[in-house]
Amino acid sequence: MKTTLIFDLDGTLMNTLDDLHDSVSYALREAGLQPNAKQDTRRYLGNGIRNLVNRSVEQTCPTADEALKDHVFDTFRSYYVAHSMDKTAPYEGVGEMLKECKKRGYLTAIVSNKLDPAVKDLHKAFFADVVDVAIGETKAVKRKPAPDMVDEAIRQLSLLKGNPIKKEECIYIGDSEVDLQTARNSELPCISVSWGFRERSFLVEQGAKVIIDRPEQLLGYL
């Protein structure tokens, strides 16, 4: 019996692309570099913000050294924490789906490679009443696709429940190849979503077995 749902954030519960792209563009301009297209930012998402920044810098400036990448990253991080909710919002239907999951008694968590302060802010602003735990990238927990965030989410949810949650009780939901690998590394079944940052055909190529096209379809698998 499934009791626990573990969600990716960016591209799964929330459309964060505009704020991430604006923040990368600001950091690149501040360093005297030309911003990339939004589609490039979309392609670079999923494996942590450091990867997003490094690949963005490398595209616009192939000769960039580590000092320049560090500078752009620091600028991005400061700007994004202050502007992570300018344009970001849940995808249509996500709020209703989470409310129904809560009504049915499921425990829920967010695990994201986004910076932990931004994850906590978004959780508080949009999901505090429907998602139990939110975990972002910190030095203490390895980012996805390592299983550490998922393991930490299960640990925290077990404390809330008052007894251990077995992995057989959990489902992972995400939108990218990183999420598929995270689920595999965590030994969890994965439900992929097609409305996020990767195309359905790409998810199939990456081995996705179950793909949903609307948030409410998740309820049919529970």
Report the percentage of the chain scoring pLDDT > 70.
100
Q: Model-level pTM?
A: 0.90
| Fold (topology level) of 4-15+89-221 | Rossmann fold (3.40.50)
Half-sphere exposure of 93 (CA within 13 A, CB side): 11
Contact 49/69 with Cβ under 8 angstroms?
no
- Give the amino acid at 99: K
Break the chain into its structural domains and give their ranges. 4-15+89-221, 17-83
**pLDDT grade for 186, boundaries at 50, 70 and 90:** very high
Minimal CA–CA distance to 202: which of 210, 194, 190? 194
Average pLDDT, the chain: 95
The number of residues in the chain equals 222
Tens-digit pLDDT profile for residues 22-40: 999 999 999 999 999 999 9
Minimal CA–CA distance to 150: which of 179, 122, 127? 179
Same fold, 4-15+89-221 and 17-83: no
What does the pLDDT read at residue 115?
82
For the domain covering 17-83, report its CATH number: 1.10.150.240
Tens-digit pLDDT profile for residues 128-149: 999 999 999 898 999 899 999 9
**pLDDT grade for 81, boundaries at 50, 70 and 90:** confident
Best mean pLDDT range from 18-27, 42-51, 110-119: 18-27
Best mean pLDDT range from 1-5, 187-191, 195-199: 187-191
